[in-house]
Amino acid sequence: MHEIGIVRQLLRTVTDFAAEHGVSRICEVVVDCGELSLVIPDYLRELYPVVVKGSILENAGLTIHMVPGLAECEDCDEIFNVIEHKGYCPNCGSFNKTVLSGKDFTIREILVPEEPE
């Protein structure tokens, strides 16, 4: 289970971001979780409150966007969902493919509360 490392990395990135921008509060972190990244969203949700306890993210929400794992067939150029079709092209049955999306886990947005003027 490498999710704990991912949450720690997330916290580090957000802490650096906050220090750089002089931000003292964060309301929400939005992440893109690729279907093929092997990151399990349920584990993230479970670990997140534990890892961020006492940090700038303690009261910040975590929103996880799933990014579908799409691939292009190298034999017939069909674009298909890798998980849905278990890795095989639904058009020609080939296993040769180039993965186009869904391999990464990235931070999409860090939402900061609007400061009253």
Binding site for Zn ion (CB under 5 A): 73, 75-76, 78, 89, 91-92, 94
The CB-of-69 to Zn ion minimum distance in angstroms stands at: 16
Closest contact distance (angstroms) between CB of 80 and Zn ion is: 8
27 vs 100 by CB, closer to Zn ion? 100
19-24 contacts at long range (C-beta below 8 A, 24 or more positions apart)? 21/112, 23/112, 24/56
DSSP assignment of 9-29: HHHHHHHHHHHHHT-----EE
Residue number, 19 or 83, with CB nearest to Zn ion:
83
Q: Which is nearer to Zn ion, 39 or 71 (CB)?
A: 71
Nearer to Zn ion, 32 or 78 (CB): 78
Q: Which residues pair with 75 in a beta bridge?
A: none
**Cβ-based neighbours of 71, under 8 Å, separated by 6 or more:** 79, 80, 82, 97, 98, 99, 100
